[in-house]
Chain A
């Protein structure tokens, strides 16, 4: 009898189950989800943390409450009891961490300053040096306009737009995409934390996690036809992006359900939440549903009815991309 035949069907199943358990214990749930494995283990976790009193009695987000909200979200995402432990699961001392914010929407609808400050605080507690953290987007002027203080050098958290650093000379390509990448991405970070805003988008339908990577390349205008599909998915496949991407923390403190991506007060609402996930596709799918619910509440047609459903999300999940899952059966939405 051969060695092969010595493994019974029962033994084989036992080994498979053991393997799955090991994978779960090692915190690689998102990889299973990306591979679209079946069963409960395959679910991508998307955590929505809310605080109705996030702004206290004023209009500005309260820093202390924001830190608390972030902690709740991250602890729920990574099954941790305390905030410090949470971040040590994500980053290690010596790593250079890029926080890719979105400042396109102006003061009303850009990545929240208090949220970014809270992330920087927790990263430093996890052993990341302040000078190894860079908060960045495409354009320094846009960042300053929304309240970020552009600062390069010294021992502070770094903050600037790619316009101050430039793009790489060499083109990188994947599928339909051919672009030059921000040198901040390629030379200043080996870990990427994506901090998009929950927004409607006149072309793509929604702009949340995956589309925020348009701020990484020199030619985003070339990738807007056909509802940004398949460009968004192709762009996120670039190894320089994919290998660095570790987490998405979506700012949904103020969100936009129509007329995006620019800020229009009449189409924005105080959602007072952050949404976190390690699966950007699952996060985009979840964010899309939130926007659809708000649109329905406001009596607006669906994005599909408006001929701008975000088909790029399905493309990002397809067999050619596997950036995550858009199957609601495989997304575990956790509200805290």
Chain B
């Protein structure tokens, strides 16, 4: 019996490269987690995926919308593991979370801001280990990671929860809920690695919601993946403490960070977070030699000033170098920001022009199907090296990490 992508549920636009639209929730018919597929079923599924991906260039990306029936009671004990990053406080069984810069002080029987970590009698637990609420096989270009194994697939998954509350979040129905409020499957790390191999995905991607909040699971899954020969990448807001970043993201093979704006006021008002720790994370990742790409979702009137583009480009050039890819992506109205229009393409092009002029080598425009700035060009001879159509790499000319025309090195992770 063929399993098709759950297109009946509705459609969402991939509005944010940061939290890219998930294509099928674990509860959906098309979830790869529900039961192993045979080869025939997998091929049919892949064809359906391909068709959907092709359509999305012109229509929109299919996304499973929850049915909102009362969720069945889940056995929490399977998902509950002591958290790794926290500190016990001396009084009243309180703890201080050391995972993200928010540093929630959490009383007994309470949860942190993310909603997925709970203090039980003075011990802090994650409630989302192996608790997968969304899973799908995506092109790596959808993350987006453009300088990482182009044209390959990523076994992509998420748990519920997030440590910020972006007013434009397109996946708020899993990121802004508690784990017990959304159906989930128990998928232990070894199972993830096995599924990735089974579906011919060289990479596991932790994405859709905010992987910072399921760091323990991410680390265990990355270890299991590496043992099975499967790599790991993370799509994250970068709002994480340095020690946790080094420990958890140190296990990643590539990282995509959403730099949501270049002002603290935007982070405070729209993201409910802070800019400085995210910049620190980017610098730390650079020091760790971790392949990193940056996405900047451009929200009209809120973070689309030329001064911000210039400041961002200058900061990247000074602190990370000119070879770090920066993706300026188009905003679509979602969640609590439905009153703002789609980002004009001309604004995205203006941002790219400014970043180019500041000397950045790889500046892309995202969420605008067919735009030439989705392709990768050699910064020296300016020939096209990777051609992309939507989320598909249709042509890949880079050889041994260099331009085949002028031999200029092109940074990235190009070959498996």
Known: A166-B68, A202-B105, A261-B107. A171 touches B336 (CB 8 A): yes
User: Residue A218 contacts which of B69, B167, B178, B272 (CB distance < 8 angstroms)?
Assistant: B178
Q: Which residues of B contact A203 (CB under 8 A)?
A: 105, 107
Using a Cβ–Cβ cut-off of 8 Å, how many residues does chain A contribute to the interface with B? 28
Q: Which residues of A contact B69 (CB under 8 A)?
A: 166
- CB <8 Å contact, B108 and A262: yes
Q: Which residues of B contact A89 (CB under 8 A)?
A: none
Which of A2-10, A219-227, A239-247 has 4 or more CB atoms under 8 Å from chain B?
A219-227
- CB <8 Å contact, B107 and A262: yes
Q: Which residues of B contact A202 (CB under 8 A)?
A: 92, 94, 105, 107, 110
The 0/1 profile, CB within 8 Å of B marked 1, for residues 48-89 of chain A is 000000000000000000000000000000000000000000
Q: Residue of B at shortest CB range from A262?
A: B108
- CB <8 Å contact, A222 and B115: yes
**B31 in contact (CB, < 8 A):** no
Q: Residue of A at shortest CB range from B66?
A: A169
- CB <8 Å contact, A166 and B70: yes
Q: How far is the CA of A259 from the CA of B121 in the complex (A)?
A: 12
**A156 in contact (CB, < 8 A):** no
- CB <8 Å contact, B92 and A259: yes
Known: A166-B71, A225-B113. A219 touches B94 (CB 8 A): no
- CB <8 Å contact, A167 and B181: yes
- CB <8 Å contact, B111 and A221: yes
The minimal Cβ–Cβ distance linking B264 to chain A, given in whole angstroms, is 15
Known: A166-B70, A219-B176. A178 touches B111 (CB 8 A): no
Known: A178-B336, A202-B92. A163 touches B73 (CB 8 A): yes
The minimal Cβ–Cβ distance linking B120 to chain A, given in whole angstroms, is 10
Q: Residue of B at shortest CB range from A224?
A: B113
Q: How far is the CA of A224 from the CA of B92 in the complex (A)?
A: 18
Q: Residue of A at shortest CB range from B167?
A: A178
**B112 in contact (CB, < 8 A):** yes
**A270 in contact (CB, < 8 A):** no
- CB <8 Å contact, A261 and B71: no
Q: Residue of B at shortest CB range from A164?
A: B70
The minimal Cβ–Cβ distance linking B179 to chain A, given in whole angstroms, is 11
Scan residues 125-147 of chain A and give those whose CB is less than 8 A from a CB of chain B. none
The minimal Cβ–Cβ distance linking A194 to chain B, given in whole angstroms, is 20
- CB <8 Å contact, A219 and B110: no
- CB <8 Å contact, B115 and A221: yes
The minimal Cβ–Cβ distance linking B117 to chain A, given in whole angstroms, is 9
Scan residues 327-366 of chain B and give those whose CB is less than 8 A from a CB of chain A. 335-336
Known: A166-B71, A171-B335, A218-B181. A260 touches B115 (CB 8 A): no
Q: Residue of A at shortest CB range from B161?
A: A221
Q: Which residues of A contact B107 (CB under 8 A)?
A: 201-203, 259-262
Q: Which residues of B contact A225 (CB under 8 A)?
A: 102, 113, 272
Scan residues 273-306 of chain A and give those whose CB is less than 8 A from a CB of chain B. none
Q: How far is the CA of A267 from the CA of B93 in the complex (A)?
A: 13
**B165 in contact (CB, < 8 A):** yes
- CB <8 Å contact, A178 and B70: no
Q: Residue of B at shortest CB range from A105?
A: B109
Q: Which residues of B contact A201 (CB under 8 A)?
A: 107
**A104 in contact (CB, < 8 A):** yes
Q: Which residues of B contact A165 (CB under 8 A)?
A: 70
With a 10 A CB-CB cut-off, give which of B104, B107, B167, B335 has the most chain A CB atoms.
B107
Q: How far is the CA of A105 from the CA of B236 in the complex (A)?
A: 35
Q: How far is the CA of A218 from the CA of B182 in the complex (A)?
A: 11
The 0/1 profile, CB within 8 Å of A marked 1, for residues 154-168 of chain B is 000000000001010
Q: Which residues of A contact B105 (CB under 8 A)?
A: 202-203
**A186 in contact (CB, < 8 A):** no
Q: Which residues of A contact B178 (CB under 8 A)?
A: 218-219, 221
Q: Which residues of A contact B185 (CB under 8 A)?
A: none
The 0/1 profile, CB within 8 Å of A marked 1, for residues 105-138 of chain B is 1011111111100000000000000000000000
**A18 in contact (CB, < 8 A):** no
The minimal Cβ–Cβ distance linking B126 to chain A, given in whole angstroms, is 14
Q: Which residues of B contact A169 (CB under 8 A)?
A: 66, 68
The minimal Cβ–Cβ distance linking A138 to chain B, given in whole angstroms, is 10
Q: Which residues of A contact B73 (CB under 8 A)?
A: 163
Scan residues 81-136 of chain A and give those whose CB is less than 8 A from a CB of chain B. 104-106
Q: How far is the CA of A259 from the CA of B94 in the complex (A)?
A: 9
- CB <8 Å contact, B113 and A219: no
- CB <8 Å contact, B92 and A264: yes
Q: How far is the CA of A260 from the CA of B91 in the complex (A)?
A: 12
Q: Which residues of B contact A105 (CB under 8 A)?
A: 109
**B177 in contact (CB, < 8 A):** yes
**B323 in contact (CB, < 8 A):** no
Scan residues 72-90 of chain B and give those whose CB is less than 8 A from a CB of chain A. 73
Q: Which residues of B contact A258 (CB under 8 A)?
A: 92
Q: Which residues in A have some Cβ–Cβ distance to B below 8 Å?
A: 104-106, 163-167, 169, 171, 173, 178, 201-203, 218-219, 221-222, 224-225, 258-262, 264, 267
**Can you list 20 A-B pairs with a CB-CB distance of less than 8 A?**
A163-B71, A163-B73, A163-B180, A166-B68, A166-B70, A171-B335, A178-B167, A202-B94, A218-B177, A219-B115, A219-B177, A222-B113, A222-B115, A225-B113, A258-B92, A259-B107, A262-B93, A262-B107, A262-B108, A264-B108
Closest 3 CB pairs of A and B: A262-B108, A221-B115, A259-B92
A166-B70, A167-B181, A178-B167 known, 9 other contacts, Cβ within 8 Å: A166-B69, A169-B68, A202-B94, A203-B107, A218-B177, A225-B272, A259-B92, A261-B107, A262-B107
